[in-house]
Structure formats: C-alpha cells, structure tokens
Chains A and B, each alone.
Chain A
Amino acid sequence: MRPLVLKELREHRWVLLALWLSSAFGLAGLAHTVKDEGSPLAAFRTLIFLLGGLSILTLANRLVVREYTGRTQLFLETLPVSRAQVVAVKWLTGAVLLAIPMAAGFAVMLHVAATQVVLTSRFIQLIAVRGGTFLLFGYSLAFFIALTGRYRYVLWGALILGAYCIDTYAQFPLEQWSPIALVSKSMVFERLEPPIADLMITWLITAILIVATFILCLASEGSLVLALSRRMSPRERVVVTVAVISLISLLGQLDARKPKPPFTLHDAVISGAGASQVAVARTGKGTNVTAKLLADKMSSDLHELQTYLSLSAGPSMFVLPDAAIDSDVFLRATLPSSDGVVVRGAIGAENFDQEEFRAYAVEQALEWYTHGRAQQEDRRWLLDGFTQWWIARASSARQDQLTQRAALAARMLHVESTRLDAQLRHWLMVREHLGDCLSDALAWRAVALLVQEVGPDRFRQLTTALFGRHFPDDARAAFLESSFNNAWRHADAPAFPTFAEGLRAALQADQLRVAAIPDAIVEEPVIFQAAAMRGGAFEVHYRLGAINATNPPFAVRYAEIGPWQPELDRESLARVDATRSGVLPRSFQRGAIIFTAIELHDTHLACTLRLGARRWELP
C-alpha cells in the first residue's frame, strides 16, 4: 500500500500543490464575496461547488485516466500486488487528497464565521456531513466515469445534458435532487434536522458507484478498463459527434421549456381577470383613480383583442407609473426570471398620451404572444398601425388626431416622390426617420385604408394570421408561421404596390384636407456639422433654425452606430436638451457612423416630432 501511495503523491505533487494553493486563494476570495448570502458559511458551499468540483475532476483524471491511457497499469500488473489493491489505494488516496483542502477550507470558514454566527457542534456536524457526503458522491462519480476512458467526455456530457433536460423539461428542479439538495442554499442555515432521506439516497448512490468502480476495474481481469482507455476510432468519433449534434438540435426544437413564475406586483390596482388582467402599481393616494381608469381601459383592450384575434392566452400585464421618464417614452421591463409584460410610462404626467400608451401595451402583448414574431420588419408597419387602429377605432377625435399626424409624416417623407411600398417593407428605417409618434400615425393611416379596401372580415383574417397564431418559441416557428406575402394574398388584399399607390393618394388628400400642419416647425432647418478636433477626433455641432436663434425646448438625439446595428430605438439614443445651437457632449473618431436628430414636442398634434433625422459618416 505505502509504495503505491508514495508513488501517487510523488507523481501528482505539483498538481496537488497548485490545486491546494488555488483552494487557499479561492477561499480568501470567497470570504469577501458572500456578504449578501446571509451567512459567511455560504462561502463553504461555493467552495464545494467550485474548488471541490475542480479537485474531484483533477484527481480522477490524474489517478485513473493518466494511469490507464499511459498504459502504466500494465507495469503495475506485473508487480506482486493485486489489481483490487491498486484500485483501492488509488480511490482512497484521492479521497484523502480531496478531504484535506476541503476540511482545511471548512475549518477556515468556521473560524471566520465564529464571530458572526452561533456555531453549535450539531450545526457544524450537519454542514460537515452534508458537504462531505456530497463531495464523496461527486468523487465516486468522477472516479467511475474516469474509468470509462475514451467515453468519459461522452458520459459527462450525457449526464449534464440529462440533468438539464430533467430540470428544464420534466419540471423536476435540479436543486431538489438528493445529492444536490444536500448542498442547497439552506445547507448553511439548517441547524437542527439532518436531511436523512437525502443523505441515505446519496450514500446509497455512492456505495453503488464504488461497487461499480471495482466491478469495472476487475471485470475481465482489468482488460475492460484497458480496452476503454484506448482512443476512439474514427468511426466512434463520427458516431459520437453526430449523436451529440442531433441531440442538441432535437433539444433546441422542443418547446416544453420550464415556465417562469408569473411576475407579481403587490400593491396595485387590478382590473379584469385571467388573460386580460391588468395591474397598475399604486404610487400614491391621488393616482388611484387614474390608475383604475387606465387599468379598466387596458383590460378591456386586451379582452376584446383576445376575442378579435382568437388568442389562446394573454400575458399578465403590469403597469409601473414612472414620473422620471418623458411623457412620450414608454418602456418595457426585461424579466429574466419571471413571466408577464411590465410596461412603464409617465402616467399622470401633463403630456402623457394615454391612447399611445394603450397601443404600446397592446403591441407588447402581441409581441409576448407571438414570441416577437409580430415585430418582424415585413409586418411591423401592420402591427404598429393595427395597435393604433385598435385603440382609435371607436374614437373619431383620436382618428382626427392621427390623420393630422399622418399627414405631417407624409409630408416629411415626401410621399409624392417616394416609393411607399418600399417604405412599408423597410419600416424600421421609417420609424428611425420619423420617430415613434409620426410613424405610428402613418402606420395607422395605412391600416385604416386597408380596412376600408379589404373590409373588416378580411382584415381580421389577415391580422389573425399574422398576430393571432401561437407558435413554439424555437426554430419550428419558422416553418409553421405564415409569411406576410401569403397572409396578404389570402386576405384578398390588393397587390402591394397598388395598395401603396392608394395610400399615397389618401395621404396626399389628407394633406390637402388637414389645415393644421405646423409648417413653421417643419421648415425650420436642422443642421448637424462635424468639426475636427486635435488627435483625429470630431465634435458635432447642432442647430435648429437660424444661427443664434432661441427655440422652444428641443432635444438632440444621437448615437454612434456599430456594425450590423439594426433599428435604433428611443432607448438607445443619447439625449441633450437645448433651446439653441450647441455641441454634442461627446466626441467621435474619424469615420464613425452616427445618427443625429432633433426632437421637439408639438402641442397641437400632442406629438414628439423628429426632425432632420439621418445617419451619416464623419469624414
């Protein structure tokens, strides 16, 4: 026994030293990173996962894989020592080498924690038994898998993938599994009751793994492990590669993802129920009535929308009033670990456009329902127009307002000389050019015309085909969904260029009919100029109207555009508030491509107008 142990220590001493040193450094680092975890002992849990895992894999690899792939096992077999003895010595040596740094780490953790946590002997024993049992399980597993030689990576991959699938698809959370449950977050808080069932199951699995290890080592007089340690044949490699790629592709196609828990808002005014429930957060006593009215309207919007488009589900909709953002800015929160649609707006602010906000909420609901497919560029104009149309369909005042905005948008787009069908198909560029308010109005005008031309039934058929179908959130959707052209054809809509011509005529008629277009604003020149600075950098000067003119408050919006950057949404634009000409607060490098525009609020249209928007390259 002794010479074998000494041989192992001598062979792996530098790796062990590095491992132990990294454990020591890791320990020092961990002690500082667990302040938010409720107990300094949480660092021990991290130590088990990170350094314990690293140690287990390293030890199994060094003790087993190296011996068999180096064929030195054949040399050992010629010596007067039994095969079982060799395996037992290796296994025990590895276990002790794993235990030493982990025990030392645990002792250090206890020492650090002693000043902050009450440490009873039972508590210490509980943590030690849980951690030790888990590590022993992990080591036994790694040792066994290491014996499978050329298939060890395949087995690890299968194990990890299997655990992931069970966790994700079978709704069986990994942290509740017996071995892993031992080192769950409660590990460092549970002081009284040992998790007997988890311990028993883990011990049983560990015992099975140890027995399996010896069976594998001794089977066919050790020739099985030796055979497994040979390299994969080209055919095996191909089979494994194909199997892995196929499996991953297959999993990528499956829709049965683990549903996220619904988002919750504790203090909110709630309207509606089920799929059309809307919750508006309370911000103070005075806003409750406004919140209730808004919640009722939005709930009604969603409920009717579900009927209209035959939606099978709807998101939980939450509204967070936010006085800190501009009245024309609406934002949707990203929810990484919960489900629902959470939108923010300056509800109650002076210029807050409630209809615009409701349309935005409807659009976000459809985005949620179609997993973002409703916002594809070929149909985006229809989505923007449809959501506006949906909110404005019973309000002639709103329709008048939208008509005026659309007329201005048409003027700014120079519809008389532009190809409107191309503009509709490249709608994201139109949005970037006109801004949200005018582009939404233009889209509404197109949809209003479309409803008129194809009739309400066929329009409903078209919107249901494009926005009312629920697809899996994976690659299958690409095969199942209707293309815009197909849906358009099936709705018996006129040929797209013909429709665009009709829209041009309608917009030109609107421009003649609507007298309230603020010519003065549109005709103010918007000028952006780059001026070279020292060192090859440029500053950008902006001006609205005449030199030194004082204007109503306006905002300069700008952004540097990176390669492959798609539509610039409002959130990605920087903003400078101004009343007169000035210089952007940042400089740009030569050759940079930037987007610049000026936005100002028009009270007559109740709309933020975007003027002089363009992408341009610095010299």
Chain B
Amino acid sequence: MTTAFHLENIRRRFGEVQALDGLSLRVSRGEVYGFLGRNGAGKTTTLRILMGIVRQDEGTIELFGKRTKRVTVSLKQRIGYVSQEPMFYSWMTAEQLGRFVSSFYPTWDKQEFSRLLDALDVPNDRRAADLSGGTRSKLGLALALAPRPELLLLDEPTAGLDPVARREFHDQLMLLQRERGTTVFFSSHLVGEVEQLAQRVGIVQAGQTRFEGDVVALRASVRRIIADPVFVPSDGFERLRADVYRASVSLWDSTSWPVGTEIQQLSLEDIFLAFTRTDRTVAG
C-alpha cells in the first residue's frame, strides 16, 4: 500500500509545554487509522500540524508522497478536516456554508454535498446556530467530504455526541469510506470507537508514539502474565505496566511458562491503559 502521510520525529513545543516529542506515524492510503491517546497526549497538535494550522519545530512530513516542511494551501485542498468542535458562522445555513467552502476547493462536488446532507440528515436551510451538536458534526463531515478529499482528518469528531448520534456518525463514516476508499485518520480517546472503526491504530502518549500497528497484532502482542510467585519473563518481553508485557507473538508462543502461570488476552482498552496510565500527561 502506498503511504498517505508519514510523520517522522515531529517535535513541537508551546512555551513550557512539549506537546510533541519525536512523534512518528505512517498512514497508508485507503486505511482507517485510529489515533489513540489520553487528553493532552498530543493528538490535536498532530492533526493541526497535518492541516498546516501549526508548524512543527522539528521533523519531517511526507504527504501524498511528497516530503514537505509545511502543509501548503494546495496540499490542504486534498485534505478534509472535521474539528473537535466545528466553529461555523452561526448566521450561515448548511447550504450557504457549502457555497462558501466550495469556493476554496477546485474538486468540490456540489451534488455530492447535497447527497451527503440528505444522507446525514442535515437540514440545509437552518442556520448553523440552530443545529444540535451532533448535526453540526455531521455537517462538518459533509463539508469535509464534499471536495472528495484523498485524506480525511477527524479530530475527536464524536466527543460531544450522545451514543445514538455517535453510532450514526460512525455508520455514515464507514459507509462513505467504503464507497470512496478515502484514507481516514481520526483521533480519539475512546477505545471502543477505535476498536470499532480502525484497521490500524497508533497510541500516543506524552507526545511520543508508543505503539503503531494492526489492532489484531496489537492484541496478540500485549498480554497479562498471572503467576504466583511473580514470574519475570526473559529478554524480549517489554513490561508495559505491572503484569502486562509486550512481545512478539512467536516469543509468547515459544516461551515455556512455569506451572500455574496464566497468560491472559487483554481488551484494547486494557492495552491502551497499560500503555498510557503510568505516563505523564503533557500537552493538548
């Protein structure tokens, strides 16, 4: 698979706060990538760098196969972005917002925007101020998808939504992604959401990538060892937290465990906690 974008050793500091501290990520075209991290781990900063809203202090970005120091306007035209809390002009209706946003994208598909509004059940004649939080998020999704972007960035898009609206949003997103094959990179601190949507996952903590890979591979490589007395495995096992270790699947399988030792599979949430719970939270 070709790479949609690759971030390498990205650092970014806001005053005293080191928001990103050598973060590296690789996202392939056509995949749905879940970007997991606690609040303040550096997810939004990563997305804002990808959107060219802020610049990295150090590190390189490769976007659509092109290495670049910063994300230019022409690159931004190939990206769709849905922010955590869409800040639309309150006096504009969905239709007016579509007309306004369309002017900035040469690839804007007017019919597609109308179809998306219908599909997402967004009224096109009501002012943004009168829309609910969920509808505003769906409007943001429609605005982001109408230019048929190659890459869709979503910054905790369901953070403020109730479970029903969240499920609706997920369904529509997956439907559209399947139809289009758009690369989707979404950040979240909700493990269930990532587990449900993402094919690959990246875990970020304190501005660094702690894990990046397949969800299934992640679950296979991180397990809990329950033994009495406490058993410390040999080299090749990385202790994540207490009795949770990470190792290659072959190592897990080839290791001979003492009698009474139990090797337990973990949920993605447990794995996420093991990666992040002991770490220091650094930035937003």
Which A residues lie at the B interface, using CB under 8 A? 2-3, 7, 11, 70-72, 74-75, 77-82, 221, 223
B76 on interface, CB distance cutoff 8 Å: yes
Contact B91 A80 (CB under 8 A): no
Give Cα A463–Cα B273 distance, bound, in whole angstroms.
90
Kindly provide the distance from the CB of B129 to the nearest chain A CB, expressed in whole angstroms. 10
Give Cα A569–Cα B105 distance, bound, in whole angstroms.
80
| Residue in contact with B104 in the complex, picked from A70, A71, A72, A81, CB distance below 8 Å | A81
Kindly provide the distance from the CB of A578 to the nearest chain B CB, expressed in whole angstroms. 73
Kindly provide the distance from the CB of A251 to the nearest chain B CB, expressed in whole angstroms. 37
Contact A11 B91 (CB under 8 A): yes
B257 on interface, CB distance cutoff 8 Å: no
Contact B74 A80 (CB under 8 A): yes
A7 and B100 in contact, given A78-B51, A80-B73, A80-B76 (Cβ under 8 angstroms): yes
Among residues of A, the one whose C-beta sits closest to the C-beta of B91 is A11
Contact A71 B101 (CB under 8 A): no
Contact B89 A75 (CB under 8 A): yes
Contact B73 A221 (CB under 8 A): no
Other than the known A75-B83, A80-B74, what 15 A-B pairs have Cβ atoms closer than 8 Å? A3-B103, A3-B104, A11-B91, A70-B89, A72-B87, A72-B88, A74-B83, A75-B87, A75-B88, A78-B83, A79-B101, A80-B76, A80-B105, A81-B73, A223-B54
Q: In the assembled complex, which residues on chain B have CB atoms less than 8 Å from the CB atom of A3?
A: 100, 103-104
Determine the main DSSP class of B at the interface with A. loop
Which residues 80-107 of B have a CB within 8 angstroms of A?
A: 81, 83, 86-91, 100-101, 103-105
Contact B89 A77 (CB under 8 A): no
Kindly provide the distance from the CB of A132 to the nearest chain B CB, expressed in whole angstroms. 31
A77 and B101 in contact, given A70-B90, A72-B87, A72-B89 (Cβ under 8 angstroms): no
A78 and B88 in contact, given A3-B100, A3-B104 (Cβ under 8 angstroms): no
Q: In the assembled complex, which residues on chain A have CB atoms less than 8 Å from the CB atom of B77?
A: 80
Contact B104 A79 (CB under 8 A): yes
A–B Cβ pairs within 8 angstroms, 10 of them: A7-B89, A7-B100, A11-B91, A70-B90, A72-B89, A75-B86, A75-B89, A80-B73, A81-B104, A223-B54
Among residues of B, the one whose C-beta sits closest to the C-beta of A75 is B87
Contact B83 A221 (CB under 8 A): no
Contact A74 B87 (CB under 8 A): yes
Contact B89 A221 (CB under 8 A): no
Contact B104 A80 (CB under 8 A): yes
B53 on interface, CB distance cutoff 8 Å: yes
Q: What 6 A-B pairs come out closest when comparing CB atoms?
A: A3-B103, A80-B76, A80-B77, A75-B87, A71-B87, A74-B87
Kindly provide the distance from the CB of A121 to the nearest chain B CB, expressed in whole angstroms. 41
Kindly provide the distance from the CB of B52 to the nearest chain A CB, expressed in whole angstroms. 9
Among residues of A, the one whose C-beta sits closest to the C-beta of B147 is A80
Which B residues lie at the A interface, using CB under 8 A? 51, 53-55, 73-74, 76-77, 81, 83, 86-91, 100-101, 103-105
Give Cα A75–Cα B136 distance, bound, in whole angstroms.
13
Among residues of B, the one whose C-beta sits closest to the C-beta of A222 is B53
Q: In the assembled complex, which residues on chain A have CB atoms less than 8 Å from the CB atom of B81?
A: 78
Contact A221 B53 (CB under 8 A): yes
Kindly provide the distance from the CB of A346 to the nearest chain B CB, expressed in whole angstroms. 72
Give Cα A198–Cα B104 distance, bound, in whole angstroms.
42
Kindly provide the distance from the CB of A615 to the nearest chain B CB, expressed in whole angstroms. 63
Give Cα A574–Cα B90 distance, bound, in whole angstroms.
64
Give Cα A81–Cα B86 distance, bound, in whole angstroms.
17
Q: In the assembled complex, which residues on chain B have CB atoms less than 8 Å from the CB atom of A79?
A: 76, 101, 104
Q: In the assembled complex, which residues on chain B have CB atoms less than 8 Å from the CB atom of A70?
A: 87, 89-90
Kindly provide the distance from the CB of A474 to the nearest chain B CB, expressed in whole angstroms. 45
Contact A2 B103 (CB under 8 A): yes
Most buried by B among A70, A78, A221: A78
Kindly provide the distance from the CB of B45 to the nearest chain A CB, expressed in whole angstroms. 11
Give Cα A114–Cα B84 distance, bound, in whole angstroms.
61
Give Cα A392–Cα B237 distance, bound, in whole angstroms.
116
Give Cα A79–Cα B89 distance, bound, in whole angstroms.
13
Kindly provide the distance from the CB of B81 to the nearest chain A CB, expressed in whole angstroms. 5
Give Cα A74–Cα B101 distance, bound, in whole angstroms.
14
Give Cα A2–Cα B100 distance, bound, in whole angstroms.
10
Q: In the assembled complex, which residues on chain A have CB atoms less than 8 Å from the CB atom of B83?
A: 74-75, 78
Among residues of A, the one whose C-beta sits closest to the C-beta of B103 is A3
Kindly provide the distance from the CB of A69 to the nearest chain B CB, expressed in whole angstroms. 11
Kindly provide the distance from the CB of B159 to the nearest chain A CB, expressed in whole angstroms. 15
Give Cα A285–Cα B126 distance, bound, in whole angstroms.
87
Give Cα A11–Cα B53 distance, bound, in whole angstroms.
24
Q: In the assembled complex, which residues on chain B have CB atoms less than 8 Å from the CB atom of A223?
A: 54
Q: In the assembled complex, which residues on chain B have CB atoms less than 8 Å from the CB atom of A75?
A: 83, 86-89
Kindly provide the distance from the CB of A141 to the nearest chain B CB, expressed in whole angstroms. 27
Give Cα A77–Cα B89 distance, bound, in whole angstroms.
13
Kindly provide the distance from the CB of B114 to the nearest chain A CB, expressed in whole angstroms. 19
Give Cα A2–Cα B90 distance, bound, in whole angstroms.
20
Q: In the assembled complex, which residues on chain A have CB atoms less than 8 Å from the CB atom of B87?
A: 70-72, 74-75
Contact A221 B54 (CB under 8 A): yes
Most buried by B among A3, A7, A79, A221: A79
Kindly provide the distance from the CB of B58 to the nearest chain A CB, expressed in whole angstroms. 16
Kindly provide the distance from the CB of B144 to the nearest chain A CB, expressed in whole angstroms. 9
Q: In the assembled complex, which residues on chain B have CB atoms less than 8 Å from the CB atom of A71?
A: 87
Kindly provide the distance from the CB of B63 to the nearest chain A CB, expressed in whole angstroms. 13
Q: In the assembled complex, which residues on chain A have CB atoms less than 8 Å from the CB atom of B74?
A: 80
Q: In the assembled complex, which residues on chain A have CB atoms less than 8 Å from the CB atom of B55?
A: 221
Give Cα A78–Cα B88 distance, bound, in whole angstroms.
11
Kindly provide the distance from the CB of A228 to the nearest chain B CB, expressed in whole angstroms. 15
Kindly provide the distance from the CB of A2 to the nearest chain B CB, expressed in whole angstroms. 7
Kindly provide the distance from the CB of B113 to the nearest chain A CB, expressed in whole angstroms. 15
Q: In the assembled complex, which residues on chain B have CB atoms less than 8 Å from the CB atom of A2?
A: 103
Give Cα A71–Cα B129 distance, bound, in whole angstroms.
13
Q: In the assembled complex, which residues on chain B have CB atoms less than 8 Å from the CB atom of A82?
A: 73
Give Cα A410–Cα B244 distance, bound, in whole angstroms.
111
Contact B73 A11 (CB under 8 A): no
Contact B53 A78 (CB under 8 A): yes
Give Cα A221–Cα B73 distance, bound, in whole angstroms.
15
A11 and B89 in contact, given A221-B53, A221-B54 (Cβ under 8 angstroms): yes
Give Cα A532–Cα B81 distance, bound, in whole angstroms.
84
Give Cα A3–Cα B105 distance, bound, in whole angstroms.
11
Kindly provide the distance from the CB of A241 to the nearest chain B CB, expressed in whole angstroms. 28
| Residue in contact with A77 in the complex, picked from B53, B88, B90, CB distance below 8 Å | B53
Among residues of A, the one whose C-beta sits closest to the C-beta of B101 is A79
Give Cα A203–Cα B48 distance, bound, in whole angstroms.
38
Q: In the assembled complex, which residues on chain B have CB atoms less than 8 Å from the CB atom of A77?
A: 51, 53
Give Cα A481–Cα B100 distance, bound, in whole angstroms.
71
Q: In the assembled complex, which residues on chain B have CB atoms less than 8 Å from the CB atom of A81?
A: 73, 104
Most buried by B among A3, A71, A75, A81: A75
Kindly provide the distance from the CB of A523 to the nearest chain B CB, expressed in whole angstroms. 85
Give Cα A75–Cα B88 distance, bound, in whole angstroms.
6
Give Cα A81–Cα B105 distance, bound, in whole angstroms.
10
Among residues of A, the one whose C-beta sits closest to the C-beta of B15 is A220
Most buried by A among B54, B87, B88, B105: B87
Among residues of A, the one whose C-beta sits closest to the C-beta of B80 is A78
